[in-house]
Amino acid sequence: MKTLKTSKKSREQHSTRRNRETIGRETAAQNIAEGTRQAVDFKAAAANDVPTAAETTLPLTAEQIVKQPERSERGSAVASGFQYNKLAGKPTKQQVIAVFGQSGYSAYSWVSRAAKLGITPEELCEKFVADPKAVKELWQKVTIKA
């Protein structure tokens, strides 16, 4: 069986490291035993915490509460937008930008575009499928006025 040859320096470093770890544990144990250093039970301390006055909050007034739409309302808005997109013939992003421009694509939904044009979303979708150039002209007239 072969034995590994280790240098004297390597053996000294290993033993020094081991001694440091042992000394560290012994010192900590001695400090706790002597009472110079106490062990802290963080769970017990956290259980007994009393919130300060800054941490407690007063009840919010009606003005401070912002009503978030219900999950079903948000879902229905997305679903209706998807349906209008289908009615418009599932146009690509580039096709919508070509008609409504970059701001018309990113800032408006089908419903808000139709409202700005003064027609229903269904009519807008039908016009978009039939003649996108006519919708583009209508959109430019409305946006130039504004």
With respect to residue 116, please indicate whether it lies within any of the assigned structural domains: yes
- R_g (Cα) of the chain, nearest Å: 36
Report how far apart the first and last C-alpha atoms of the chain are (Å, whole number).
92
With respect to residue 120, please indicate whether it lies within any of the assigned structural domains: yes
Domain enclosing residue 140, as ranges: 92-145
Residue 42 clears pLDDT 60, i.e. is over it: yes
In the chain, the number of structural domains is: 2
Residue 8 clears pLDDT 80, i.e. is over it: no
CA distance 139 to 101: 9
With respect to residue 23, please indicate whether it lies within any of the assigned structural domains: yes
For the chain, the residue count is 146
Residue 18 clears pLDDT 60, i.e. is over it: no
With respect to residue 126, please indicate whether it lies within any of the assigned structural domains: yes
Identify the band that residue 142 occupies on the pLDDT scale cut at 50, 70 and 90: confident
Give 76-119 pLDDT, tens digit per residue: 777 888 888 888 888 889 999 999 888 888 888 888 899 999 99
With respect to residue 128, please indicate whether it lies within any of the assigned structural domains: yes
CA distance 115 to 82: 17
